[in-house]
Structure 1
């Protein structure tokens, strides 16, 4: 019997050459699509001839190199997820257009397809990259209209695409009445570097510059290359002067690490000019020209500078940056830069001092006249409020301990101080809640201490704030609300929180048409809740006259007594405190 009677005619046993593994290998090697396999670290382990032709390199020059070395992409490069990541959180396959840079310096447009390779447990172990050139059947490159909008050297949008996006952005900004910012970037002294290293190496460095800048630009913004060593960033969603300054500083910082060229280290800086829509210009051409002019102004000041079209705006932002730097330095060494002053609180009927408020005094020779309270918003934005607050608490405790040990009458007066909002939200740099910090200060009693909670801190997460306030109350600390009337507060919540005092700013009487009624209504409401109102900001006779009709008993302000050092306060109290009746 013929055991092969059911086999189709001509079919014999498959030879070794037709084994599936061999067929797969032949397909990989002979494909006209460039193919690359990488390991989990993104380094090339296998390539075919088609990819070597696209990349202009042989196999020895590709194996072991990171895959991203051989193309430029507008999309950030995606790494494989680690073992702790969710596989679903990273796309396993995608495609995108890239530019592959050949050995002759030319860049060719390529469609890159990426497939993640999984092991038997479905964990990523590498990737398969397929590179398809845009060519006709005869091998000629397609003149795809998309690529006329792309700068071939960096892969960034060129002037044509930037112009299109600018037109759209300005039309959108006009419709919704928002602002835009345009940053014009010039790489300082790049021509000299280009001449020194050669144009091919200079082009490579320009590509590296573009990659560094692209990493600092948000996905909603546009980074484009205008040609030579000039770039432009369009900020659409947040086109304010402040946002432009932050982005410009990030871009300049991105260029700070040295660039390497063979055995040389090259230091590059950039001059950046900023123009704002609609303040500086209302059309594309004028906006570009305004930003370019501002860049020239920046360059005249020296390398690595930033300038706005409006000189006054440049000065204001420069002063803002200077203030932030000074505050940051001071807060990290508070004992050297700050001192505590104390301002008395009075019973306006008897003029007896009923308490003290601890206030910061900045020793800075230019800033000393303004209380650091004037800079609280800046301090909060820098994320330094908790650090400064903790130093204040420790300094107040040290002063009170010294007064107690010396049997000073100052030890009998309650002391209050401002509590930063971040402490309520338990948003601390070391994840250490305020009550834990206080417990480790070695103080047996806090019944003399009042913490003044900003009213705006009660407008956010009230549940979290209430939890922290009750924990502070358990330590014996008394609590007050600061600047009531300046921020909306839920009265029902206020009645349930453990406050015994609240400050009302006397200047509200001048800031509103019915200001006096507002102040008095606030005082009556507080009294009805069992919360003692304190009128603050009584700095002159006019304000004091406005406050005469209010029902508040306690007052504070420079008219009665300015803030002073602990030493001066001791002498003042001995001289001015009336005897008790």
Structure 2
């Protein structure tokens, strides 16, 4: 055969079959990895059979469709700036990958690793993109990296029902051995089916992933969040999970859902109905806990979106009352003139019984319950961060009352006045962005030597460094300072000596008339305060026994309902006049 003659036909066919272009075509058509070529705008030009099997679409149907109609992103693209979106990610890099969720037309969703490579033209600009889709869940239930997908919800990455049952059984056994409490929260997303139908199932799947991340971010590492299916989740709280702890977690979960969700460019507000079952009071086994929590969830949902309920109706009633009280207090704090009054309790000299000062007390007016004492709402006020707002209103009202007393020549105008501050008032991050000393300096009044501010002991010990600077600045304004609640916790003499306190308020309830050791401790504490140049004042003398006890303590001032209750300003004027007339 002449060396220049063409090869035989069978050799030409074999050569064409092994040509690189033909091999690439075979790999694209016969490979088990889903592959798609899109144009620069993300519209499908070619889709291989593996991709069509993965998504359940026909090649003819896929052609021309936007690629993002076939998946939802579970995570941001790797190696890309956060501001870069998926479609235009090529502007930053010619290649990237991300985990996505592909939804088959029959409804099943699968986790997929999508890799994107830009195909460049002669000028180095992306003209097309090659996307490959690798299924992360294999047929034997394992996942890349050795994670067993059979125990994990493929859509959210959370534990599924199988893993939850295992952890729940283990937690129940541990709680029973250690005689500890445990709680189960059953969560149902309100109106999610309607949102899913409107936004589309693929977008609904992505929303579920975002829901899972927000819920999980509100929990401790030792708590378990699992997805039962659909829009239902369960949370297992271990280690002494009381009703209060479970309620606090439920409230954090509701707060986590407050920022709007984005679906198809629209802002969606989602809430959750939450049912709570407690071990061992509500149930002692796995099935009863789940059933009880689910039943409580239905009870919560009947009351409206974003509610929670306990299996125990008494706890639910208490929770409802708590929420009602919080809402009322929040409204009242923003209209203090309408809902609050300032009453004044006389401080009496231990030896003579003369009125030597006044203690300002906040009273909350409620139509049905009359006037509430601070002890009834102080904790709620601090938790809702309303203390600073009410403190500042109270100080302004006290200044106005004193100016009236002085203008009318009343004896109350000559007396020092004390008022208790909330714990949050030593912080710089106040609602009006003004530290306490700036607020006091802005008041149009004479020097404030007559004013005593009482600081709770807990606020000082928790923010010692901030307290030192703030209290010293307040002292420079002439304001006197007192510490209240002293003796309820171990006393650190070092910090007590460092702070510029003039008085310390000690509750008469710290001692018992029948307990000599308590009385001796109270006397020793008074002597200790005196040695630090801090005047002890005995408060809460509310019965005859504590009044008799106060006379045995080395304190110059006493006050309490047994001696004289807190009075409205008009009643104080009358009491003061009669009190002065009775003095020898």
Where do residues 114-129 of structure 1 align in structure 2 (5 Å cutoff)? Answer: none
Structure 1 residues 547, 286: CA separation in 2 closer, same or farther (over 3 Å shift)?
A: same
State the match for 2:456 in structure 1.
454
Question: CA 1:472/1:300 → structure 2, altered by over 3 Å: closer, same or farther?
Answer: closer
Q: CA deviation at 1:269?
A: 6.6
2:150 equivalent in structure 1: 148
Give the match for residue 71 of structure 2: 70
Q: Aligned to 1:383, what secondary structure does the other structure show?
A: coil
Q: Could you tell me which runs of 5 or more consecutive residues in structure 1 were left unpaired when the two chains were aligned.
A: 1-21, 84-92, 117-126
Asked if structure 2 preserves the Cα contact closer than 8 Å seen for 1:52 and 1:58, the reply is: no
Unaligned runs of 5+ in 2: 1-20, 85-94, 119-128
Q: CA deviation at 1:453?
A: 1.2
Alpha carbons 1:35, 1:47 under 8 Å: kept: no
Question: What is the CA deviation profile of residues 486-535 of structure 1, one whole-angstrom value per residue up to 9, with x for unaligned ones?
Answer: 12332133223222211111111139943222222221111222211111
Aligned residue runs from structure 1 range 168-567, under 5 A: 168-171=170-173, 173=175, 179-186=181-188, 205=204, 208=207, 211-212=210-211, 214-218=213-217, 220=221, 221-227=223-229, 230-236=232-238, 239-249=241-251, 271-299=273-301, 305-510=307-512, 513=515, 514-567=517-570
Secondary structure in 2 aligned to 1:279? coil
Cα separation, 2, equivalents of 1:154 and 1:211: 8
Question: 1 CA distance for matches of 2:404 and 2:312?
Answer: 53
| C-alpha displacement of 1:272 | 2.9
What is the TM-score when the length of structure 1 is the normalising length? 0.76
Give the C-alpha shift of residue 227 in structure 1. 4.1
Q: 2:578 aligns with which of 568, 575, 579?
A: 575
Contact 2:72 2:205 in 1 (8 A): no
* 2:43–2:64 Cα contact (<8 Å) kept: no
Compared with structure 1, are the counterparts of its residues 254 and 507 closer, same or farther at alpha carbon in structure 2 (3 Å cutoff)? closer
Aligned equivalents of 1:300, 1:186: Cα separation in 2: 12
Instruction: Tell me how far apart the structure 1 counterparts of residues 280 and 101 of structure 2 sit (CA, whole Å).
Output: 36
Match of residue 5 from structure 2: none
Per the TM alignment, residue 33 of structure 1 is displaced from its structure 2 partner at its CA by: 4.9
Root mean square deviation, CA, Å: 4.5
Please state how far the C-alpha of 1:245 moved relative to its aligned partner.
2.7
**Aligned with 2:341: secondary structure?**
strand
By how many angstroms is 1:201 displaced?
5.4
Cα distance in 2 between the residues matched to 1:421 and 1:258: 32
For residue 285 of structure 1, report the CA deviation from its aligned partner: 2.5
SS at the partner of 1:217?
A: helix
**Cα distance change on mapping 1:184 and 1:135 into 2, 3 Å:** closer
Judged with a 3 Å threshold, the aligned counterparts in structure 2 of structure 1 residues 37 and 451 are, in CA distance, closer, same or farther, namely farther
CA distance in 2, matches of 1:266, 1:423: 37
Correspondence 1:61 to 2:62: no
* Alpha-carbon contact 2:214-2:257 (below 8 Å) kept: no
Q: Is the 8 A contact 2:292 2:311 kept in 1?
A: yes
SS at structure 1 position matched to 2:338: helix
Report deviation, 1:210.
Answer: 6.0
Q: Distance in 2 between matches of 1:340 and 1:553?
A: 25
Q: In structure 2, what is the Cα distance between the partners aligned to 1:76 and 1:156?
A: 18
Structure 1 residues 34, 568: closer, same or farther in 2, change over 3 A? Answer: farther
For the structure 1 residues 569 and 316, does the alpha-carbon distance in structure 2 shift closer, same or farther, using more than 3 Å as the test? same
Paired residue for 2:92?
Answer: none
Count of residues in Structure 1 that have an aligned counterpart in Structure 2: 523
**Matches of 1:565 and 1:217, distance apart in 2:** 50
- Distance in structure 1 (CA, Å) of the matches to 2:45 and 2:527: 82
Name the SS of the counterpart of 2:511 in structure 1: helix
Per-residue CA distance 1:77-111 (angstroms, 9 max, x = gap): 9984469xxxxxxxxx9998764213342323434
CA deviation map 1:282-336 (0-9, x unaligned): 4323321222333344456566542212222222222222222221111122121
